[in-house]
Amino acid sequence: MIRLSDQAFDPGALLSDFCRDRAEVGAVASFTGIARAEAGATTVLELEAYPGFTEAEIGRIAEQARTRFGLMDLLILHRVGRIAPGEPIVFVATAAAHRREAFEGCDYLMDYLKSRAPFWKKEHGPGGERWVEPRAEDHADIARWE
């Protein structure tokens, strides 16, 4: 399942739900991304998406991950709107028969969500506001899978 939400969420509850009733799944991996305060420099993070297109593009990324790693299921929840430091911004969970596929599928999904999914992120703080550009590391992370 792929979902965007402008509401705070509980990653523990999402993970518990995701693990329920899975007799054939041997492994679940998950990742939670949390908005950083950057030592007080960021007081609010603003996440913009392109409704419809963003979900479709994430769907395409998810389908690639599902095929490549043989994932039995996956969950992606991404926040949009205004996010306070300390709040979860993204949650990804993958289910597979064995741990390696679950770990790698989760890693792959996060790398693509960071710099290939249609989101734009702005940091607001006492020093003003700033759009966040993808870093060189983000592109290097993608290159690992190509």
Partner 1 sequence: MARVLLFGPLRDLAGWREREVAAETLAELRAVLGAEDAALAVALAQPGVQVALNQAIVRGDAALSPAAEVAFLPPMSGG
Q: What region, left, alpha or beta, does residue 90 occupy, with left being phi > 0 and alpha being psi -120 to 50 degrees?
A: beta
Report whether 45 contacts 119 (CB < 8 A): no
d(CA 13, CA 2): 16
Q: Which stretch, 8-16, 18-26, 66-74, 118-126, contacts partner 1 (CB under 8 A)? A: 118-126
**Binding of partner 1 at residue 124 (CB under 8 A)?**
no
Nearer to partner 1, 63 or 133 (CB): 133
Q: How far is CA 121 from CA 39, 49, 89, 131, 140, in A?
A: 18, 9, 11, 6, 20
- Residue 22 C-beta: closest distance to partner 1, Å: 26
Nearer to partner 1, 66 or 121 (CB): 121
What residues from 85 to 104 belong to the interface with partner 1 (CB under 8 A)?
Answer: 89-90
**Binding of partner 1 at residue 50 (CB under 8 A)?**
yes
- Residue 141 C-beta: closest distance to partner 1, Å: 11
